[in-house]
Structure 1
Amino acid sequence: MSSYSPSGGKSCVEVGWHISSYSANGGGRCVEAGPLLDTPARVAVRDSTQRGLGFLTFPAAEWHAFLRAATSGAL
């Protein structure tokens, strides 16, 4: 349960965030992504400089297809 969860812990989304390896020192200027721990078929993505604004979610298969295309130079 997240430390941000209310006492019942039912209204908070849990994400295992991963900071991009391209992030500046300290990870302050980049994109973070991670699986939604209660819905692993979706991936959450956020701007690490604007964490308080929330995040977008994508189906995991689509996110991984995007990553493959980006790393292969197809985009």
Structure 2
Amino acid sequence: MTEISATRIDRSELAWRKSTFSNPSGNCVEVAPMADGQVAMRNSRDPEGSVLIYTRPEIDAFLRGAKSGEFDDLAI
């Protein structure tokens, strides 16, 4: 995972999306696929803040863990 400053990514070119399970108060994580195959992630409440960049294998590993319940203890 790499953190990229806001000036190095043209955020307007990214198709940001968040889960339909997100709450209406805006406490959400948004993700966007990048042209180079990586995945950008940001806090929806701070769209001009830091963006985390993950490789597809990193996203795959996280999603597999989430689907198998490895992170259930982190939920409210």
* Structure 2 unaligned spans of 5+: 1-8, 72-76
* TM-score (norm. length: structure 1): 0.68
User: Between Structure 1 and Structure 2, how many residues are aligned?
Assistant: 62
8 Å Cα contact 1:29-1:49 kept in structure 2: yes
User: Residue 23 of structure 2 corresponds to which residue in structure 1?
Assistant: 24
CA RMSD of aligned residues (A): 1.9
Greater relative CO, 1 or 2 (CA 8 Å, sep 6+): 2
User: Residue 47 of structure 1 corresponds to which residue in structure 2?
Assistant: 43
User: Residue 14 of structure 2 corresponds to which residue in structure 1?
Assistant: 15
* TM-score (norm. length: structure 2): 0.67
Partner secondary structure for residue 56 of structure 1 = strand
User: 53, 68, 74: which one pairs with 1:72?
Assistant: 68
Q: Find runs of 4+ consecutive structure 1 residues off by over 6 angstroms.
A: none
* Pairwise CA distance, 1:22: 2.4
Query: Between the two proteins, what is the percent identity of the paired residues?
Result: 35
User: Residue 58 of structure 2 corresponds to which residue in structure 1?
Assistant: 62
User: Residue 3 of structure 2 corresponds to which residue in structure 1?
Assistant: none
Distance 1:69 1:48 in 2: 23
Distance 2:50 2:39 in 1: 13
* Structure 1 unaligned spans of 5+: 1-10
